[in-house]
Structure 1
Amino acid sequence: MSKIPVIVIVGPTAVGKTSLSIELAKKLDGEIISGDSMQVYRGLDIGTAKITPEEMDGIKHYLIDVTEPSAPFTAAKFQAETRKWIEAIHGAGKLPIIVGGTGLYIQSVFYDYDFGNSSEDKTYRAELERLDNTVLWQMLEQKDPESAAQIHENNKRRVIRALEVMHLTGKPFSEYQVHNELNATYKPLFLGLDLDRELLYERINQRVNLMFEQGLVLEAKQLYDQNLADVPAIRGIGYKELFPYFEGRSSLEEAKELIQKNSRHFAKRQLTWFRNRMDIDWIQAGTSTTETEAMNKVTTFLSAK
């Protein structure tokens, strides 16, 4: 059986992945699977820069708004769901396109991941449970920077599991998870969008300003008022920075500046991870030739035997 071709568009937040993916999907009769670990959650719209129905422009999207924030959506779940949709889209005669910035999730689709199913050390786990999120994440960053770049500080369950696996196996969690051979079912083309760092940071700052204009504070307050502030999904960038403001411990301007700062740092970690962990064909974003260059690469890829 021939391999299923899949176009994968990755890159840091605010670099322009969404608009490029829509244009490619229109020209290539494609459908899009979101490769974003946050956009699966209902109610997290503005803070995750979730694509709107208007922006979709008639292109069908998958893995957006599929679960509640209180229900964890793991990398293993993403792998299974994405593989299912790839085959369904291909079976319908259309081109599967994955778009997003969650490298660990996207990589898991095309490589046979081992999701840390080794044995447990309950005593060691209990010791870790007593530590706060920041201390745990710093431990992970020291032992395995690649995993720390992909696991959010407030995803305590995942951080602890990574530390536990390394404790049991004696090797980095990032090495334990992924096998080097591509899954034989798929033929992926990994396209990465890059942008001058200053321009990217300017875009990120502007995006956060727009989020505030669109009603981010109200969205975050509604989640906060539902007592969801401790749910890992809600502790993501764009929400957690506003909680001190709701509690009278910071100003709104301080919260905005912190969201911008954390988003810039996140973009830097994304770029580092993609460059170190995946074989990506990079394209300069934000130019008059970006879409043409991407189309040429995809056309060549699809026509190759």
Structure 2
Amino acid sequence: MNNKEKLVVIIGPTAVGKTKLSIELAKRYNGEIISGDSMQIYRGMDIGTAKIKEEEMEGIPHHLIDIRNPEQEFSAAEFQQLVREKITEISSRNKLPIIVGGTGLYIQAAIFDYQFSDALSDPEFRSKLEKRADLEGNQVLHDELASIDPQSASEIHPNNVRRVIRALEIYHCTGKTKEETQANQSPELMYETALIGLTMDREQLYERINLRVDLMVEEGLLEEVESLYKRGLRTCQSIQAIGYKEIYQYLDGLTSLPEAIETLKQNSRRYAKRQLTWFRNKMNVQWFNIGEDDFVKKISEISAYIEGKLQLKSNT
């Protein structure tokens, strides 16, 4: 007998339409939504992360949004713990948990029996690196990381010494990069899961991304980023997010505003491409082309898949 909790997961690239679908499914299956976005956890970062607005929620409870201040660090391991608590809590109320987002590693960590390498440590090695950072500067350690683990180096700011040292420590302990230590696992799904991926024609998706960025600017993205900039937030994890780092370049006087916006669009398009590649390579996803047919027809198709997969009945 399968006693696993039922779970719907909606993944896909930025701007593909995950939010709209999630609300419809939550209404249909008495669901509550858990954000699977690594940046929507931050308070005061609403426009740049395309955070759902109160009126768009249509009364559906949303979880793991606005749970950290922008200066705080947050890891996939923390996300894993919080999501699992939420899934249990939502299920205990006879509601259907629905994870929605585009941060692949976070979602993978939450729904699979995924072991993190946090247990691996060498305090003596770490202490040596901390002293080197003090004497030789942060960039030296970051360059060292880039030579052995370019993936981690591209994701970590040179001034985020704690995370640079952690990535070097994992390599020192295992002889493998952080991604390699995680990729070698073949974890099991923790839940009875309907894993839905949304996609659309690339040109159409890129057009939507460009329009979304224009709308963000209209809605006050510049002012939002400026408020973080004036608070002196600079090297923290949150400011490395797409939508923030590009505007920081403008605020630092390194580029014009139109150039910063164009770079933001380009980075968003590249990110969407990386998201799709990641999901296709790492997870067994049931894909739906959201650009074809009308939305109502697509909802019916996706609902039929969920009902078959999870043995659910809709409210409608």
TM-score over 0.5 (shorter chain): yes
The aligned residue for residue 29 of structure 1 is: 30
1:12 maps onto 2:18 in alignment: no
Higher mean C-alpha displacement, 123-132 vs 106-115: 123-132
Structure 1 residue 243 displacement after superposition: 1.7
Work out whether residues 103 and 270 of structure 1, in 8 Å CA contact, stay in contact via their aligned partners in 2: yes
1:86 maps onto 2:87 in alignment: yes
Structure 1 residue 161 displacement after superposition: 2.5
Structure-2 change in CA distance of 1:190 and 1:70 (3 Å): same
1:182 maps onto 2:188 in alignment: yes
The aligned residue for residue 54 of structure 1 is: 55
Structure-2 change in CA distance of 1:167 and 1:198 (3 Å): farther
Gaps of 5+ in 2: none
Work out whether residues 125 and 164 of structure 1, in 8 Å CA contact, stay in contact via their aligned partners in 2: no
Question: What secondary structure sits across from 1:49 in the alignment?
Answer: coil
Q: How does 1:1-305 map to 2 (within 5 A)?
A: 2-110=3-111, 111-120=113-122, 121-122=125-126, 123=128, 130-131=138-139, 135=143, 138-139=146-147, 142=150, 145=151, 151=155, 156=160, 157-177=162-182, 179-184=185-190, 186-287=191-292, 288=294, 289-303=297-311
Structure 1 residue 68 displacement after superposition: 0.7
Structure-2 change in CA distance of 1:159 and 1:14 (3 Å): farther
Work out whether residues 140 and 162 of structure 1, in 8 Å CA contact, stay in contact via their aligned partners in 2: no
Deviation string for 1:166-190 (max 9, x for gaps)?
Answer: 2321224223236313254x21221
Paired with 1:88 and 1:14, the residues of 2 have a C-alpha distance of 29
> How many positions carry a matched residue from both structures?
299
Work out whether residues 241 and 255 of structure 1, in 8 Å CA contact, stay in contact via their aligned partners in 2: yes
Structure-2 change in CA distance of 1:106 and 1:159 (3 Å): farther
State, as a whole percentage, how many aligned pairs show the same letter.
47
Work out whether residues 9 and 100 of structure 1, in 8 Å CA contact, stay in contact via their aligned partners in 2: yes
Paired AA for residue 54 in structure 2: P
Structure-2 change in CA distance of 1:177 and 1:226 (3 Å): same
Deviation string for 1:84-137 (max 9, x for gaps)?
Answer: 110111000010000000111111112222243212332456667632798467
Structure-2 change in CA distance of 1:132 and 1:283 (3 Å): farther
Work out whether residues 155 and 232 of structure 1, in 8 Å CA contact, stay in contact via their aligned partners in 2: no
Paired AA for residue 77 in structure 1: E
Paired AA for residue 301 in structure 1: K
Structure-2 change in CA distance of 1:154 and 1:261 (3 Å): farther
Paired with 1:148 and 1:272, the residues of 2 have a C-alpha distance of 20
Question: What secondary structure sits across from 1:270 in the alignment?
Answer: helix
Structure 1 residue 36 displacement after superposition: 0.4
Higher mean C-alpha displacement, 171-180 vs 198-207: 171-180
Structure-2 change in CA distance of 1:241 and 1:297 (3 Å): same
Paired with 1:116 and 1:163, the residues of 2 have a C-alpha distance of 13
Paired with 1:136 and 1:202, the residues of 2 have a C-alpha distance of 39
Higher mean C-alpha displacement, 284-293 vs 254-263: 284-293
Paired with 1:240 and 1:40, the residues of 2 have a C-alpha distance of 17
Structure whose CA Rg is larger:
2
Paired with 2:208 and 2:115, the residues of 1 have a C-alpha distance of 33
Question: What secondary structure sits across from 2:33 in the alignment?
Answer: strand
RMSD (CA atoms):
2.4
Work out whether residues 194 and 310 of structure 2, in 8 Å CA contact, stay in contact via their aligned partners in 1: no
Paired AA for residue 243 in structure 1: Y
Higher mean C-alpha displacement, 169-178 vs 276-285: 169-178
Structure-2 change in CA distance of 1:191 and 1:183 (3 Å): closer
TM-score, scaled to structure 2: 0.86
Paired with 1:160 and 1:198, the residues of 2 have a C-alpha distance of 40
Structure 1 residue 46 displacement after superposition: 0.2
Question: What secondary structure sits across from 2:272 in the alignment?
Answer: helix
Gaps of 5+ in 1: none
Paired with 2:54 and 2:251, the residues of 1 have a C-alpha distance of 30
Work out whether residues 233 and 239 of structure 2, in 8 Å CA contact, stay in contact via their aligned partners in 1: yes
Structure-2 change in CA distance of 1:71 and 1:107 (3 Å): same
Paired with 1:104 and 1:209, the residues of 2 have a C-alpha distance of 28
TM-score, scaled to structure 1: 0.89
Paired with 1:67 and 1:297, the residues of 2 have a C-alpha distance of 35
